[in-house]
Structure 1
């Protein structure tokens, strides 16, 4: 089936890439009421082939498994952190999709701001250690997470200061190679 409709599959893909057909329009046409549509069935079979190949690669390549696991763990850690920051818990009080979207976006913005602030603090500490002559090991930096919870007061006084900072935050890890990679023990 894929071979028979290969030209149609390519034509559809090129139309999406060139912007002649939006992916939303195509998905609407190929929705759940189009099981008799030949293009729908060809795309479904192609998807099954790609899924099978990916699963076989996942099973046979340890490096791919490690990469997927690491990425999944990072995403789950972020979602767990954002959920912890969510004021009011998991409840999104309205059935209005626009309101729900705003709540989710605000929560992710809040999580990203907290992560950015923590990353700046970590950068400052690493730069201070390096300035004092202490070696900062790569392995030590790799274990530091920006998802620190004990420094954040979720229900405390939140002060929004819109004035620009007196100086730009230090976002660069300013370490010399000899300081960054101290002698191995």
Structure 2
């Protein structure tokens, strides 16, 4: 398998892309879990598991929030007449950190406010990207 991986460029592309996504997620998660430089100093396995799961929960919550913000910006750009295609969106990552301020005052007065219903639909055609992904993975459209 290793020789096939080394000699088969079409096989390496999706594997490398998936590896890069996982590494990006792990870097982002580690960045968010900045306390104690990511070291879990507790010897209790239950507390270790809690620390890991809390960090995963925080990471996923921030990614979700970033994705909502990105979708809202894309909607605004589309309303302004910008043309955005799936290829443009494929290069956007939800692992954004510039807007996160670790050490600041945070307001909790908005916690009880019910948010507006969220529309998950973006008016962008992702079909070409899906077809590229299938072709790269060695699948072809049914004849």
TM-score, scaled relative to structure 2:
0.76
Within a 5 Å distance, the mapping from 1:29-178 to structure 2 comes to 54-88=1-35, 89-159=37-107, 162-163=111-112, 165-175=114-124
Structure of greater relative contact order (alpha carbons < 8 Å, 6+ residues apart): 2
Question: Larger radius of gyration, structure 1 or 2?
Answer: 1
- Report Cα offsets for 1:73-127 as digits up to 9, x if no partner: 1001001001000131212120111111110111011011001000000001111
Report deviation, 1:158: 4.3
Cα contact 1:123–1:170 (8 A) shared by 2? no
Number of matched residues? 124
Distance 2:69 2:9 in 1: 35
Cα contact 1:94–1:100 (8 A) shared by 2? yes
Report deviation, 1:175: 4.1
Cα contact 1:86–1:107 (8 A) shared by 2? yes
Secondary structure, counterpart of 1:166 in structure 2: coil
2:137 is matched with none
Report deviation, 1:66: 1.2
Cα contact 1:123–1:173 (8 A) shared by 2? yes
| RMSD (Å), alpha carbons | 2.1
Structure 2 alignment gaps of length 5 or more: 127-143
Structure 1 alignment gaps of length 5 or more: 1-53, 178-185
CA change 1:119–1:153 in 2 (3 A) is same
TM-score, scaled relative to structure 1:
0.60
Report deviation, 1:141: 1.1
Report deviation, 1:176: 7.2
